[in-house]
Amino acid sequence: MILLDVNQLTVRFFTRNGAVHAVENISFTVKRGETLGLVGESGCGKTTTMLALMNMIPAPGRILGGEIRLDGQNLVSLSETEMREQIRWVKMAMIFQGAMNCLTPVYTIGRQMLETLRAHRAMPNDEARQRIVAYLNRVGLSEDVLSRYPHELSGGMKQRVVIATALFLEPQIVICDEPTTALDVVVQAQILNLLKQLKQELGLSLIFITHDLATEAEIADRIAVMYAGKIMEIGANADIYGQPGAAHPYTQALLNATPRLRQRVSALAFIPGAPPDLLNPPSGCRFHPRCPVAMPRCKTDEPPLFELATHHLSACWRNQ
């Protein structure tokens, strides 16, 4: 059942000021047909983790250790050419944050999609066009979109084009990096419903990155919570949002800062302080400088992920 198995992944960026500990010894799995949600504050390592899965870490970053096994194949050991020809967009695709940044403004949508498709599959133009049109139709767009330029499309239409481009090579797993960012609420709902429908129809596995815990509750089967390059908690949707709910103080703080539709709240809670400098991360638990229930041990000893229930893990000494 396991499609993607990430084990002890470590990514650092080597700058003139020192090494940035962007992702540190994280492990997680994604099952076939499952949606794993990845949440956390800005700069916690969510996008860096996903770029590592695609072996697209920009310089001066580098994967220092760990394994990324997709269907049993270790991607860390593959060359750039092997990744490009065998993995990216063929077995694993990514919907990047901000559709406009993914589309070249001086090329038509059809030209860009055709170029991407033919870079991976040798096929006649007519057959390639038919495949592209079929996937545009799947995401609710008509054939006339092919002759348009990106500036002629709305934000939601551009996002649908990017989703269609990620899918037309029929990958096993799709990484969605905040695909609803900068879209209005109605279009966000349409994109989420579309992704859920496509997942069901195509049997996809998804990794869904967002800051919005309410969105994650709607789409994710399991949720991993990241802070300062570490996974603090991972569990099923019901483990995080149900009763008794989240086990880690950081997850609880994120949930307390989320507006509730059916509950009157006089003021939203907030997490005091700021995320740590990853050039010099704190010792022990990385959340301890901001944690309201930190113990002396939290400042010196880094907690492992304790198993609280089946597939529910929390990196907090109080859950020992």
In tens, the pLDDT along 131-180 reads: 999 999 999 999 999 999 999 999 889 989 999 999 989 999 999 998 88
pLDDT in tens, 204-221: 999 999 888 888 888 999
Distance of CA 7 to the CA centre of its chain: 16
Q: Are strands 35-39 and 18-31 parallel, antiparallel or unpaired?
A: unpaired
Q: Is the pLDDT of residue 263 over 80?
A: no
Strand-pairing partners, residue 237, are none
Distance of CA 181 to the CA centre of its chain: 13
Report the alpha-carbon angle 306-174-37, nearest 5.
35
CA dihedral in degrees (109, 115, 117, 121; nearest 10)? 160
Structure tokens that stand for 290 in this block: 């901001």
**Would you state the pLDDT for residue 93?**
94
CA–CA separation, 154 and 28 (whole Å): 36
**Would you state the pLDDT for residue 219?**
92
What mean pLDDT value characterizes the chain? Answer: 91
- Least confident span in 4-13, 197-206, 228-237, 268-277: 268-277
Q: What is the largest CA-CA distance in the chain?
A: 67
Q: Is the pLDDT of residue 265 over 90?
A: no
Complete DSSP assignment for 259-280? --SSS--SS-----S-PPPTTS
Distance of CA 3 to the CA centre of its chain: 16
- Per-domain residue ranges for the chain? 241-320
Q: What beta strand segments (E) does the chain contain?
A: 2-15, 18-31, 35-39, 61-70, 73-74, 92-95, 173-177, 205-209, 222-227, 230-236, 306-309, 312-314
* % of the chain residues with pLDDT over 70: 99
CA–CA separation, 228 and 12 (whole Å): 12
What would the mean pLDDT of 301-314 be, rounded to a whole number? 92
Tell me which of 196 and 261 has the higher pLDDT: 196
Q: How far is CA 38 from CA 44, 174, 247, 294, in A?
A: 10, 13, 16, 24
